[in-house]
Chains A and B, each alone.
Chain A
Amino acid sequence: MAIQTILVINKSGGLVYQRDFVPNAPRLSSNEYLILAGTLQGIVAIASQITPKSLQLDGKSSARGGSEPMGNNSAPLVPYMGTLGATTANGAPLGSFLGPDYFNDAFASWNGRGLKHVTTDQNSLFVYHTLTGIKFVAVSTQPTTNAMAVAVAENLLRKTYCLYADYVMKNPFYEPEMPIKCELFDQHLGTLVKQL
């Protein structure tokens, strides 16, 4: 599975970042990406409304899920994928994160009942929400519904979020909610995806 595209959508549904990683794959025009981002934002909202109670992953309805640091309110954890982007192997620093990796634990997903992934005949699309409303979206080159692949994608997207925190939010020239044009973010995201 290779990552074809990564998108970042701000909390109001605007596309702030889009990057293709597969050089000669069919691609959408920038306008179509904007539409895709807006549509996703809407679909996520609708999905969260129509998800049946029994499928919601917010601890209250499901008995599974251990006690993570926040105690009882525990959604099932996303497992940590150790092999993914273990960057100290090539000595590259991880910004404000101390090696060997951005995080080394399983983590709770913030997405309790919204859209997590979409599979078509050609592609899969994975969504990672943050508590502040930003969405990180990855499109892969192969269709997959396998739990492992979903976990890898969630790990990748959380790492993208770490990069975002380091190289976008800490860039004084970046204005929140605006399109991301940060060279360091591009560079590190490229490395991260390449390691996959």
Chain B
Amino acid sequence: MSASTNSVPNSSTGSKKSLKAFSDDIWKNKTAKINAELFTLTYGSIVSQLCTDYERDFVKVNNQLFLMGYNIGMRLIEDFLARTALPRCESLAKTSEVVSKCAFKIFLNVTPQVGNWSSSQDAFSLFLDENPLSDFVELPMDAAKELWYSNILCGVLKGALEMVQMDCDVFFTSDVLKGDQTTELRVKLNRVLKDEIPAGED
């Protein structure tokens, strides 16, 4: 709040904060917001329109949502980095923390739980306790089998991580909309694209 009057370079304020406090601050004070219901309903109408357009071929709908997400993610990562200026994560554990506590917080105001690590530490799951995309949603019988309603999120993560040189597979393994207990989003790191890391960093 006092930022504009503060002309003295301060190198310490805020730098001791935890990642959670850091992202809370960015979400609260630095990010313009829109009405959550408008957002939910807009997404809902996109999915419903896709189902009509693809004549209820839900595999195609899933793919299309993923592709849309991918294109969003590739661009959204710049917004995320401009906003946070976080350095490169040194491990996938750190990445998972940044994705859940920072990225999801800033863009969707939720903090999914990280868990279900694979034994080789190259895959983790995000448990979405609340999913702003799927408020008010009930899937019709025919869609409940195949449609991953929030598949756009997978695409966004895939696109965003790829732009910071992490080649990942991202997919849903369960969704409360389908009657599962939890909404679980799996992220599996295939490899770090070392050749593409810009010069000047490790």
Seen from chain A, the residues whose Cβ lies within 8 Å of a Cβ on chain B are: 11, 44-45, 47-49, 58, 66-71, 73-75, 77, 79-83, 86, 88-89, 95-98, 100-108, 110-115, 129-134, 148, 151, 158, 161-162, 164-166, 169-170, 176
| Chain A residue with the shortest CB-CB distance to B201 | A112
- Contact of A73 with B87 in the complex, beta carbons under 8 Å: yes
Complex CA gap A133/B196 in Å reads 8
Given A45-B199, A111-B200, A165-B82, A176–B75 Cβ distance below 8 Å?
A: yes
**CB contact between A66 and one of B5, B12, B85 (< 8 Å): that residue:** B12
Q: Mark B110-134, 1 if CB is under 8 A from A, else 0.
A: 0000000000000000000000000
B185 within 8 A of A: no
Enumerate the 9 nearest inter-chain pairs by beta-carbon distance, A residue then B residue, closest first: A114-B200, A79-B9, A104-B3, A45-B199, A107-B85, A86-B4, A82-B6, A169-B75, A133-B198
Given A66-B15, A131-B81, A170-B75, A44–B199 Cβ distance below 8 Å?
A: yes
Please give, as numbers and ranges, the residues of chain A lying within 8 Å of B77 by CB-CB distance: 132
- Contact of B83 with A103 in the complex, beta carbons under 8 Å: yes
Please give, as numbers and ranges, the residues of chain A lying within 8 Å of B18 by CB-CB distance: 69
Please give, as numbers and ranges, the residues of chain A lying within 8 Å of B22 by CB-CB distance: 69
- Contact of A106 with B164 in the complex, beta carbons under 8 Å: no
Complex CA gap A151/B9 in Å reads 9
Tell me how far the C-beta of B174 lies from the nearest C-beta in chain A, rounded to whole angstroms: 31
Given A44-B200, A111-B201, A131-B88, A70–B30 Cβ distance below 8 Å?
A: no
**CB contact between A105 and one of B14, B19, B89, B90 (< 8 Å): that residue:** B14
- Contact of B201 with A129 in the complex, beta carbons under 8 Å: yes
- Contact of A161 with B82 in the complex, beta carbons under 8 Å: yes
Chain B interface size, under 10 / 10 to 19 / 20 to 34 / 35 or more:
35 or more
Please give, as numbers and ranges, the residues of chain A lying within 8 Å of B10 by CB-CB distance: 79-80, 106
B86 within 8 A of A: yes
| Chain A residue with the shortest CB-CB distance to B18 | A69
B16 within 8 A of A: yes
- Contact of A83 with B79 in the complex, beta carbons under 8 Å: no
- Contact of A70 with B82 in the complex, beta carbons under 8 Å: no
- Contact of B9 with A81 in the complex, beta carbons under 8 Å: yes
User: CB within 8 Å of A: which of B1-34?
Assistant: 1, 3-19, 22, 29-32
Q: Mark B74-114, 1 if CB is under 8 A from A, else 0.
A: 11111101110111111000100010000000000000000
Complex CA gap A71/B97 in Å reads 12
